[in-house]
């Protein structure tokens, strides 16, 4: 973010104290900040989770690896499903599922969910899945995705969910890194009235992932897909029991691997972020309850993220189900068939808590409030935001036009690596400021440091760090201890470096300023500049490429690619389109550059390093600073000229 944008943030003077009525009934009461960390988490672990064997120690901390609740054994599926049925909550709806085609709906109670999960777990067993197996899941937003995750945890298999928008190559890379032996997918996914051929993409991915022996295919659209004999099995053709006694919940150690979630870093290879059983479950359940003020008997919670990202794992699946919540699961997009689809969903199910991303809010803002006005949104009582910094205008619009001016807005900062929200208001306690994520969650110690590792005082900008362990923190990068230490723990010894810039104001409130590394944030999705560059140079006509993010009013950032073509190649408009599509095919449509700028050379320092900062300045039309370290300063003005002429694609 530019200095001017930061200063504008600090001029934000609107304040929203907690409404008295909300405060009186809130799950979080002011004393919550006063409890010591281990005492707080020991209590949460005892109250929110059912243990097969109690834990001996709350925390063992050997920097940078934490172990929480060691000695304890538990099962995540038991905690999310079976125990609720045993407690008499079998008739409570776990998910209101709204399919993309209108009228395609299903309500799954906790009793339904138990039967479905048992059936799925038995199917996985038929395919040879057992405790310790590694299973990849590549599905759209169907109940079967959540069911498959729970089925894995029931039998003690670890999963990795790959977002359904990723390419075959992204899928095979992840399966290979994880060592997956079984893949679960579906025939096709609905996408804005069309279909995404998940099974065909899976076939291509499996051809490059030799360890995958079996593939379980869920039928969704009914489209015709090829099935390889001996490898592929239709889920609906397996005759397996849904009786819970046929598939008991496997006792797992607190620190057993629960799942990997791959995320982009500053190299071309995504990192497999590890999350383990007990700490993760306790962390997401507690944070879900306090931050969203969840009243499981009356609330209808809707997190609009995709389960293929960490937000969906923590706040569609594990947190809400552990808390016996009723959630909405939505397969579609906000503007299909029309731009009021979301508000129709809110009204239909009486959603009380809505959790979404600033990029979605800005799209709705652009379309105008009339779509929301067509519907009765009076059931809403709390709103949440996640994924990128929320600009005050979007915050205020959300508060007014969606929340009717009465719902607190919780702007929650966290990451794939943190597993749970770490910086957030607590509704009922915190005075809100549009654009600020306000305070660290109870027991979390966050700070802002400068280049030298010194704490920065109020108002100063710097790097966001977390100073002590929390239960849902990642247990490392799968198979790469050195990268884990280097990425997160070397900026300042002993502190977790998040990769984000931040400022703390005089009231101690945090203002997040975006990434400080080579990671872009496009519509709330993390995309590595280097990953996109590698995809571009993989094209036969490209000699060199440099990628950066530029500010975009709707998506937060948009991807700009500067490309030098090989000798004899014409830099045509057709080639631009081809390169965009090439990136989409290599990584996935979310990584498609908005602009491709052809340039005869890239700006490099005399030692040959590409000056990305300068490219960002060009992309955002900022005055160019000092270019004297450049090998050839004339390159920059040429690039600037071409960038101003380059067409953009939505
Ligand atoms: C950004 C998503 C500002 C941040 C849960 C972080 C945010 C990255 C916020 C993690 C927020 C997330 N305000 N920035 N409230 N929430 N971010 O791993 O840059 O997909 O590092 O996890 O998103 O993205 P990830």
Query: How many angstroms is it from 391 CA to the middle of ligand 1?
Result: 14
Share of the chain above pLDDT 70, in %: 97
Task: Report whether residue 498 contacts ligand 1, using a CB cutoff of 6 Å.
Answer: yes
Query: How many angstroms is it from 418 CA to the middle of ligand 1?
Result: 10
pLDDT tens, residue by residue, 178-205: 999 999 999 999 999 999 999 999 999 9
pLDDT tens, residue by residue, 536-574: 999 999 999 999 999 999 999 999 999 999 999 999 999
Query: How many angstroms is it from 51 CA to the middle of ligand 1?
Result: 32
Query: How many other C-beta atoms lie within 10 A of the C-beta of residue 59?
Result: 18
Measure the CA–CA gap between 432 and 287, rounded to whole angstroms: 18
pLDDT at 425: 98
Task: Report whether residue 386 contacts ligand 1, using a CB cutoff of 6 Å.
Answer: yes
pLDDT at 6: 59
Residue 525 Cα: closest atom of ligand 1: 20
Weakest mean pLDDT among 308-312, 413-417, 605-609: 605-609
Query: How many angstroms is it from 24 CA to the middle of ligand 1?
Result: 30
Distant-in-sequence contacts of 600-604, Cβ < 8 A, 24+ apart: 600/564, 600/635, 600/638, 601/564, 601/632, 601/635, 601/638, 602/544, 602/546, 602/562, 602/564, 602/635, 602/639, 603/627, 603/630, 603/632, 603/635, 603/636, 603/639, 604/630, 604/631
Tell me the best of 357, 438, 512 to mutate to test the pocket of ligand 1, counting ligand atoms within 8 Å of each CB and taking the most.
512
Task: Report whether residue 311 contacts ligand 1, using a CB cutoff of 6 Å.
Answer: yes
Residue with CA closest to ligand 1 atom 3? 389
pLDDT tens, residue by residue, 570-595: 999 999 999 999 999 999 999 999 99
Omega before 337 cis (within 30°)? Answer: yes
Mapped onto helix, strand or coil, the DSSP state of residue 156 is coil
pLDDT tens, residue by residue, 3-62: 555 556 667 889 999 999 999 999 999 999 999 999 999 999 999 999 999 999 999 999
Task: Report whether residue 306 contacts ligand 1, using a CB cutoff of 6 Å.
Answer: no
Tell me the best of 414, 435, 524, 591 to mutate to test the pocket of ligand 1, counting ligand atoms within 8 Å of each CB and taking the most.
414
Task: Report whether residue 500 contacts ligand 1, using a CB cutoff of 6 Å.
Answer: yes
pLDDT at 268: 79
| Residues whose CB is less than 8 angstroms from the CB of residue 410 and which lie 6 or more positions away in sequence, other chains included | 291, 292, 382, 383, 384, 385, 424, 425, 426, 427
* Mean pLDDT over the full length of the chain: 95
Weakest mean pLDDT among 421-425, 532-536, 606-610, 621-625: 621-625
Measure the CA–CA gap between 369 and 400, rounded to whole angstroms: 10
Weakest mean pLDDT among 88-92, 301-305, 609-613, 615-619: 609-613
Residue with CA closest to ligand 1 atom 23? 387
Query: How many angstroms is it from 475 CA to the middle of ligand 1?
Result: 19
Query: How many angstroms is it from 387 CA to the middle of ligand 1?
Result: 4
Measure the CA–CA gap between 457 and 257, rounded to whole angstroms: 39
Tell me the best of 161, 305, 500 to mutate to test the pocket of ligand 1, counting ligand atoms within 8 Å of each CB and taking the most.
500
Task: Report whether residue 521 contacts ligand 1, using a CB cutoff of 6 Å.
Answer: yes
Residue 524 Cα: closest atom of ligand 1: 23
Residue 424 Cα: closest atom of ligand 1: 15
Query: How many other C-beta atoms lie within 10 A of the C-beta of residue 366?
Result: 10
Residue with CA closest to ligand 1 atom 25? 415
Q: For the residues 473-477, what does the mean pLDDT come to?
A: 98
Place of tokens 């009380």: 352
Residue with CA closest to ligand 1 atom 13? 389
pLDDT tens, residue by residue, 100-118: 999 999 999 999 999 999 9
CA dist 580 → 201, 614, 648 (Å) = 19, 22, 11
Task: Report whether residue 315 contacts ligand 1, using a CB cutoff of 6 Å.
Answer: no
Residue with CA closest to ligand 1 atom 11? 413
Task: Report whether residue 512 contacts ligand 1, using a CB cutoff of 6 Å.
Answer: yes
pTM reported for the whole predicted model: 0.95
**Structure-block tokens of residue 279:** 């700490």
pLDDT at 642: 80
Task: Report whether residue 583 contacts ligand 1, using a CB cutoff of 6 Å.
Answer: no
Length of the chain: 650
Tell me the best of 413, 488, 525 to mutate to test the pocket of ligand 1, counting ligand atoms within 8 Å of each CB and taking the most.
413
pLDDT at 231: 98
Task: Report whether residue 499 contacts ligand 1, using a CB cutoff of 6 Å.
Answer: yes
């Amino acid at each position: 973010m530019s200095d001017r944008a930061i200063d504008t943030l600090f001029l934000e003077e609107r304040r929203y104290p907690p409404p008295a009525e909300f405060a009186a009934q809130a799950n979080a009461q002011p004393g919550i900040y006063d409890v010591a960390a281990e005492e707080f988490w020991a209590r949460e672990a005892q109250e929110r989770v059912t243990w097969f064997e109690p834990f001996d120690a709350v925390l063992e901390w050997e920097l940078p690896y934490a172990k929480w609740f060691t000695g304890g054994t538990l099962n995540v599926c038991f905690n999310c499903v079976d125990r609720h049925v045993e407690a008499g909550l079998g008739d409570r709806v776990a998910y209101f599922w709204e399919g993309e085609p209108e009228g395609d709906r299903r309500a799954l109670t906790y009793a339904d969910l138990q039967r479905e999960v048992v059936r799925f777990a038995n199917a996985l067993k038929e395919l040879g899945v057992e405790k310790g197996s590694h299973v990849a899941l590549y599905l759209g937003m169907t109940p079967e995705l959540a069911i498959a995750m729970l089925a894995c945890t029931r039998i003690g298999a670890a999963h990795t969910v790959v977002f359904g928008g990723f390419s075959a190559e992204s899928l095979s890379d992840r399966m290979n890194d994880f060592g997956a032996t079984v893949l679960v997918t579906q025939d096709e996914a609905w996408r804005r009235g069309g279909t995404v051929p998940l099974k065909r993409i899976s076939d291509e991915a499996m051809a490059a992932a030799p360890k995958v022996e079996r593939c379980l295919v869920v039928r969704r659209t009914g489209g015709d897909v090829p099935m390889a004999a001996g490898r592929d099995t239709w889920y609906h053709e397996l005759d397996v029991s849904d009786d819970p006694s046929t598939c008991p919940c496997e006792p797992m150690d607190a620190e057993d691997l629960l799942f990997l979630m791959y995320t982009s870093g500053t190299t071309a290879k995504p990192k497999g972020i590890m999350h383990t059983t007990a700490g993760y479950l306790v962390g997401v359940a507690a944070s879900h309850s306090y931050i969203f003020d969840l009243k499981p008997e009356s609330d209808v919670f809707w997190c609009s993220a995709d389960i293929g990202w960490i937000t969906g794992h923590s706040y569609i699946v594990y947190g809400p189900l552990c808390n016996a919540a009723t959630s909405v699961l939505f397969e579609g997009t906000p503007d299909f068939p029309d731009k009021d689809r979301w508000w129709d969903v809110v009204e239909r199910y009486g959603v009380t808590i809505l959790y979404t991303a600033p990029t979605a809010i800005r799209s709705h803002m652009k379309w105008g409030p009339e779509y929301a006005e067509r519907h009765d949104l009076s059931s809403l009582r709390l709103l949440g935001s996640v994924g990128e910094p929320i600009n005050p205008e979007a915050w205020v619009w959300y508060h007014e036009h969606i929340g009717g001016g009465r719902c607190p807005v919780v702007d929650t900062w966290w990451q794939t690596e943190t597993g749970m929200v770490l910086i957030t208001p607590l509704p009922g306690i915190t005075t809100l400021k549009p654009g600020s994520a306000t305070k660290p969650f109870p027991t979390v110690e966050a700070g802002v440091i400068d280049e030298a590792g010194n704490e920065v005082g109020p108002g100063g900008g710097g790097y966001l760090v977390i100073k002590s362990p929390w239960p849902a923190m990642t247990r490392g990068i799968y198979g790469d201890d050195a990268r884990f230490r280097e990425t997160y723990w070397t900026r300042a010894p002993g502190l977790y470096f998040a990769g984000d810039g931040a400022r703390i104001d005089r009231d101690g409130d945090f203002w997040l300023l975006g990434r400080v590394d080579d990671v872009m944030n496009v519509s709330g999705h993390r995309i590595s500049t280097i990953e996109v560059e590698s995809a571009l140079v993989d094209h036969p006509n490209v000699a060199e490429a440099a990628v950066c993010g530029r500010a975009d009013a709707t998506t937060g950032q948009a991807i700009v690619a500067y490309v030098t073509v090989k000798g004899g190649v014409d830099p045509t408009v057709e080639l631009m389109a081809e390169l965009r599509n090439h990136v989409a095919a290599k990584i996935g449509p979310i990584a498609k550059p908005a602009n491709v700028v052809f340039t005869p050379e890239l700006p490099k320092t005399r030692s040959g390093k590409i000056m990305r900062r300068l490219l960002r300045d060009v992309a955002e039309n900022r005055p160019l600073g000092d270019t004297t370290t450049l090998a050839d300063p004339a390159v920059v003005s040429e690039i600037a000229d071409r960038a101003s002429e380059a067409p953009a694609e939505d």
